[in-house]
Amino acid sequence: MRSKIVAGNWKMNKNSEETEDLINELIDKLPTDGNTKIIIAPTFINLASAVDHTEFTNIRVAAQNMHQAENGAYTGEISADMLKSIGVNTVILGHSERRSIFHETDAVISFKVDTALKHDMTVIFCFGEELKDRQNKQHFNIVENQLRDGLFHIDKSAWANIILAYEPVWAIGTGETASPEQAQEMHEFIRETVRKVFGSDIAEDVSILYGGSVKPDNAAAIFSKPDIDGGLIGGAALKADDFVAIVNGI
Ligand code: PGA
């Protein structure tokens, strides 16, 4: 049985005090009895306190990125071992902002995936087409290539640690959302692509999240689709009431 998951990607927002405030508000307002897994991804410097604050809750803490090397001369970077040492066991990899602004290629992302898996971390693997790809009707090809080049080299046994997050770049932070039908069409294609390479058990068990301008007023319609197992939420994850409403929409 695959899990329902709602993850909040806080990006470069919230200082230390604001992080604590938002976590406290989430602890107060999030349902504690549901089956939905809740993940939040604050910035690196606030991860340790986020782990402490969420210790006795159902909120899991993820990093937004990490470096692929074990350690060494990589000024400004953070390793898997450092994350694990403060209790962070989940990492977002391949986010479109990392791909476009920081020039991360599929090859680099695939190294990061390997390193994270080697450290027994859960990977939220992000991918999705740009607007021009959709306009040129290349979106299925692009998505398939991102999966093959960044992820499909892993062992079958590693899939227990993989969460997929389809995020069409044209819908991220733009207020423009894929319609529930467009999202479902792509999620079905993604599950089918996983099935062809890794078989039905893995395809049925992997959670596929949708990301891109998910808000309280569109979440329930998106989450109602059979191949959409939750969401990766950016802007709306920064307000407790919005994030909680999205969680309640699942
Ligand atoms: P958004 O961001 O919800 O603000 O569109 C989603 C994401 O980047 O993960």
Q: Which domains does the chain have, with CATH numbers?
A: 5-248 (3.20.20.70)
Phi, psi of 91 (to 5 degrees): -140, 140
Which three-class secondary structure state does DSSP give residue 211? Answer: strand
Using one digit for the tens of pLDDT, what is the confidence trace for 163-212?
A: 999 999 988 877 778 899 999 999 999 999 999 999 999 999 999 999 99
Mutate to test the pocket of ligand 1, among 13, 96, 131, 213 (most ligand atoms within 8 A of CB): 213
CB within 8 A of 168, min separation 6: which ones?
A: 128, 129, 134, 139, 178, 186, 212
List the structure tokens of 102. 């920081």
Would the CB of 94 count as within 6 Å of ligand 1?
no
Question: Would you place residue 35 in the very low, low, confident or very high pLDDT band (cuts 50, 70, 90)?
Answer: confident
Answer whether 60's CB lies under 8 Å from 33's CB: no
Taking the C-alpha atoms of residue 215 and residue 175, their distance in angstroms, rounded to an integer, is 9
Query: For the segment 86-116, what is each residue's pLDDT rounded down to a tens digit?
Result: 999 999 999 999 999 999 999 999 999 999 9
Nearest CA to ligand 1 atom 6: 234
